[in-house]
Structures are given as C-alpha cells and as structure tokens.
Amino acid sequence: MSTRKFRVGIIGGGGIAQAVHIPGWRNLPEAEIVGIADVSEATAKKAAEAAGGAQVFTDYRELLKLDLDAVDICTPNKIHTPAALAALTAGKHVLCEKPLAVSTAEVRQIGQLADKKKLNLMTAQHQRFTAPGRAVKAWVDGGNLGEVYHARVRAMRRAWLPPAPGFIDAKLAGGGPCMDIGVHALDLCLWLMGFPKPVRVSGTSKTNFAKGHDMPNRWGEWDRARYSVEDFAAGFVHFDNGATLVLEAAWMGHQKDDEELLAQLFGRKGGVSWPSGEFAAAPNAVLAQGTLALPEHVPHPHWHEIAAFHDCVVNGKPSPVPWTETINVIGILEAVYASSQQGGEITLKL
C-alpha cells in the first residue's frame, strides 16, 4: 500500500488561505501542502509557515513545476482564470475560491479545459457544506417544496466593506458585493432550485456610499480613490421553466441587521428559507409552519468542502460543485452588471 500523501499547492497565501484553506488541508491526514505561491514573498512565507514548512514561490508558474496532485487557488478574483488554466494545463486538479471567474466566457474556458484534460474542477462554494445548507437541501430533495415559481436572494450588509485592494479594485476583483457575497447566496439558492437555466436578467449596480465619507466601516478605512466596484446591486431573473428570482447584494446600506445572507424559495407544495430553516406549507388544506431541526453546529464548512474535493479526486467522483452549475451563477451576476450599463434587459444563452 502506498504511503504517498495527496500533494497540494496553494496559489495565493493571503487571508482566505491562512484562515480556512490551509487549516482545512492540514486537517486531512492524507494530504500535505508542499508549496505556496504569492506575489508577496512575505505573505507566501507566512502562509508556508502556517502550512507546516511548505516551499515558497513568488511566481505560481514555478509552483506548478512541483509534483502536485491538486492546486488550491485563493487569489483575487481576476487571477483565478490564468491560474486555473495554468494549473489544468500542467495536469493538476483545481479547487478555486469563488467566484470561479468573473465572466461566463472564462468559466466556460476553464471548465472545457478541465473536461478535455479529464481533471476535477470545483468552485469553493462552502455554504453548500454548512449545516443549514445541508438540512434545507434534504428537505427540498424530500419533495416538500414542489415546483419553485419564485425565489428571493439577499446578501446585504450594513457597514462591512472589505478594504483590501483585491475586493475594491475592479482590475483585481471584477465586481463588488455581487461577486463577493452575492455569489454565495445565489449559488445556494440555485442549488436548492435544481439549477434551472436563467434566460433573461435586468439589473442595476451603483456606488451609493463607498466614494463618500459619511458611512463608517466596521473593517476600517479604504482607498476611496481606488474604489472602482459597486457597493449595491440588484437584479430580476427569469428562468426557462417560468420561475423568477430577485437578487439584492450590498456591502453598505441603512438597515437594522449587520448582515443578511439568505435565500427564500416559494414552491407549489411549500416554502422554505435558508439559513433559518423556517418553512410553511398547507398539507390536507391545513396551514402549517415550523423550523427544520438543524444541528447545533457543524464546524468548519470550508474543511468539509476541501474534504469533498479531495474525495472526488482520489475516488473518481464528479465535482461536488461542477462548472456547469457555476456558469449559471456567474451568468446572472455578469448580466446584472451588463443590464445596469446598457439600461435594459439582457438575454442569456448559457
């Protein structure tokens, strides 16, 4: 029996890598992180130390020369596509932080290359691995929702704007709260809906607060001159099966709650909300409602996400978050931006 461990290289050694990806890989006894690449050598060294002494690179192309089974991409959004294409070309399986890419053309390019090379590709949508996500999905799969005719998606914050350039500079981020937090709630909602095909989208995106000085930010100051993404966006989506969806995403806004990350689905048999687990139905013409039984706490959903990716690679299973699902998520977000710019409804052909 081989004692060789599953060898991982990480591209991007910053916050998300150090906070959850590195601990997630180190939690897998079968895996080892052998290299970290980051344009900042200091960041790469700090991440490598957290990884247990991995090799350090400032050019991910040098990292890809190592004997690796998989690459985990934790860079700013705009680097996802070149890094993923390079990793797949080098024959490595790829786990990539959300969003996989900031355009459908790039998602398709990455996905088709993975298919051609027969490599696993997974977008890191960790909300699917949370206790509420799993519980609501089980309830829906049990036939309690029925045909979904409408859904609401909210990813709204009061004053939590991430100040790092990788979030606020369009050249690095490709978008603001839509691409940062909207992608989480939208992916989860479409997953619960069974991923109907979006066909038409109208939307708006704007900067209401981030260019001014009146709104305080709980994560501290940011470079207003460099700020070039939206701080609010909204969209209305039509699907090929007749269902509709409303999307709202913001980092800043006057609301009571610090953050609302939720999806509400309306079906012909019942309705349900995530992550609360609250549901309503009318069995035998009697109005009924309640809350799904949720585990008190399932720690580290990112760890479960990483374990699922590892399992699909070593055991030849399909990707838990395939690019053919991700392209619908990005298609909607891309269309929200395009609709706002063009001032009209966008027709999608995904």
For the stretch 165-176, pLDDT in tens is 999 999 999 999
CA–CA distance, 47 with 30 (Å, rounded to integer)? 20
pLDDT, tens only, 193-208 = 999 999 999 999 999 9
Of the chain, the percentage scoring pLDDT greater than 90 comes to: 95
Element (H, E) at 200: strand 198-206
Residue 269, φ and ψ in degrees, nearest 5: -100, -25
Number of H helices, E strands in the chain: 13, 15
pLDDT band for 1, please (50, 70, 90 cuts): very low
Using CB atoms within 10 Å of the CB of residue 160, give its burial: 0 to 12 exposed, 13 to 18 middle, 19+ buried.
middle
Domains and CATH numbers, the chain: 6-124 (3.40.50.720), 128-301+329-347 (3.30.360.10)
pLDDT, tens only, 288-310 = 999 998 876 667 899 999 999 99
pLDDT mean over 321-326: 98
For 73, residues 6+ apart whose C-beta sits below 8 A from its C-beta are 10, 11, 12, 79, 80, 83, 84, 87, 94, 95, 96, 97
pLDDT, tens only, 148-168 = 999 999 999 999 999 999 999
pLDDT mean over 48-55: 96
CA–CA distance, 280 with 99 (Å, rounded to integer)? 32
Looking at residue 2, its pLDDT comes to: 57
Pairing status of strand 270-274 against strand 278-281? antiparallel
pLDDT, tens only, 232-291 = 999 999 999 999 999 999 999 999 999 999 999 999 999 999 999 999 999 989 999 999
pLDDT mean over 128-142: 95
